[in-house]
């Protein structure tokens, strides 16, 4: 068998394996590996290597929360909108996509309805201070229906999750919190409420976690950070002064 025949044979094997893989709904690169055409998964060979990045901020302590809101400008239309977006993220504990979808029609008295994962509806209470700020924003921006957070004064489309993310990153950069993300504000909401004695079940309902176990993960992470269990062994290694 000469070189040309070998190449044609391998090509036919590849085509046959591809046909079988599609028939069986089986990943084609894996079929090549199993068939002996390739030594390793060719799809993995073209992936960019993972790059180590700085760790993200897990949550904010109370002094950082104050700094985040104290340094927020309120001069322009966008400044005012972005400030209320930050308040909603922190005081509701919602995901950024959920904040982006808030509409005037979702409010009823002191409650607000929103759609969470798998398009499930949830109704939660809104803090009085936040309601006051939302009402002030709506009057300023002349918002009577539709999205609470439009993209611009002349653009009624709701903001996207990406815009909410950029709002948080810009606010964080002003106070030196370059690794802060919208989800860190969600963790902050759970962590600080837990510290203040709010029942974990109530927090779970507020942030729309399907299981209280998910909510408790935030509490456990904070507990480990506060208690520093290794402190109990410090006396074994502490040098005498």
pLDDT in tens, 130-162: 999 999 999 999 999 999 999 999 999 999 999
User: Strand runs (DSSP E) across the chain, as ranges?
Assistant: 107-108, 111-115, 121-125, 150-152, 155-158
Domain ranges of the chain: 3-45, 62-226
Q: How confident is the model at residue 61 (pLDDT cuts 50, 70, 90)?
A: confident
- Residue 170, pLDDT above cutoff 90: yes
Tell me the C-alpha distance between 149 and 134, whole Å: 10
Residues 6+ apart with CB under 8 A from 102: 88, 112, 114, 147, 148, 149
pLDDT digits (tens, 9 = 90+) for 62-90: 888 888 888 778 789 999 999 999 999 98
Confidence grade of residue 19 (pLDDT, cut at 50, 70, 90): low
Domain 62-226 fold is: hpI Integrase; Chain A (1.10.443)
Question: Of 64-68, 198-202, 222-226, where does mean pLDDT reach its minimum?
Answer: 222-226
pLDDT of residue 139: 97
**Lowest mean pLDDT across 102-111, 135-144, 178-187, 197-206:** 197-206
Q: What are the angstrom distances between the C-alpha of 34 and each of 2, 19, 25, 37, 149?
A: 25, 14, 15, 8, 52
228 pLDDT higher than 50:
no
What's the whole-number mean pLDDT along residues 29-54?
50
| Residue 71 confidence (pLDDT) | 77
Is residue 10 predicted with pLDDT exceeding 60? Answer: yes
């Amino acid at each position: 068998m000469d070189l040309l025949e070998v190449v044609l044979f391998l090509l036919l094997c590849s085509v046959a394996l591809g046909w079988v893989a599609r028939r069986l709904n089986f990943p084609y690169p894996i079929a090549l590996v199993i068939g002996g055409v390739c030594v390793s998964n060719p799809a993995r060979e073209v992936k960019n290597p993972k790059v180590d990045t700085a760790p993200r901020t897990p949550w904010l302590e109370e002094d950082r929360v104050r700094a985040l809101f104290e340094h927020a400008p309120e001069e322009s239309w966008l400044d005012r909108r972005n400030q209320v977006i930050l308040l909603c993220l922190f005081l509701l504990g919602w995901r950024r996509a959920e904040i982006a979808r808030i509409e005037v029609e979702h409010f009823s008295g002191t409650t607000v309805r929103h759609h969470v994962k798998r398009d499930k509806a949830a109704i939660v209470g809104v803090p009085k201070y936040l309601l006051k700020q939302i009402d002030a924003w709506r009057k300023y921006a002349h918002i009577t229906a539709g999205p609470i957070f439009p993209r611009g004064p002349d653009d009624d489309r709701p903001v996207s999750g990406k815009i909410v993310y950029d709002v948080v990153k810009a606010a964080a950069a002003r106070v030196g919190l370059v690794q802060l993300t919208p989800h860190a504000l969600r963790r902050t909401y759970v962590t600080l409420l837990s510290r203040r004695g709010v029942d974990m079940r109530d927090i779970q309902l507020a942030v729309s976690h399907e299981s209280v176990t998910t909510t408790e993960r935030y509490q456990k992470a904070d507990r480990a950070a506060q208690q520093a269990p290794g402190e109990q062994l410090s006396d074994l290694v502490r040098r005498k002064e």
